[in-house]
Amino acid sequence: MNSITHLVVPGTFDPITYGHIDVIRHAVRICPRVTVGVAASCNKRGVGTMFTLEERVKLTQDALASDERTKDVDVLPLTGLLVDFCHQVGAEGVVKGLRAMTDFEYELQQASLNSKLAPDIESIYIMSTPEYSYLSSSIVREIASFGADVRQLVPSNVAAALEVHFGGKRS
């Protein structure tokens, strides 16, 4: 087996949170090259995403560029199958973060399917840092929708975009 020199960290990132960034930082520690694939996820939860694919790519790029540990990570839109994206960018593995058992069950299904489609792509799982184990994009969107301050949960560029999306701060 060859060593892994390039990993993909896929996700919808609607929006990117400090939990996502934590997983990306771990990926950077274990592999010399990391690409974040921002998934189109047009039908996520039956309603689509809050931010467009282009907005999510830009928010993710800006958030990672402002962090010394992730500034060299590539961020690209992911519009097809994850395994096809990995082959297109030359990645040998996929990194996913796990917060809870429900994440594990879903990711196990995805890894099994991906293994059938592309046995050459490794699946690597990183346990969420306890500090971020509760954090999800949907929780951030809900909190922001009530006008609450989300700056402890997301980078400043994301907090600003959420404030604009939800019409400014409310009390």
> Which are the catalytic amino acids?
20, 44, 99, 137
For 11, the 3-state DSSP assignment is strand
Distance CA 81, CA 114 (A): 9
Q: Which amino acid is at 16?
A: I
What are all long-range contacts of 151-160, with beta carbons under 8 Å and residues at least 24 apart?
A: 152/18, 153/17, 153/18, 154/15, 154/16, 154/17, 154/18, 154/63, 155/16, 155/18, 155/21, 155/62, 155/63, 155/66, 155/67, 157/59, 157/62, 157/63, 157/66, 158/15, 158/16, 158/17, 158/59, 158/63
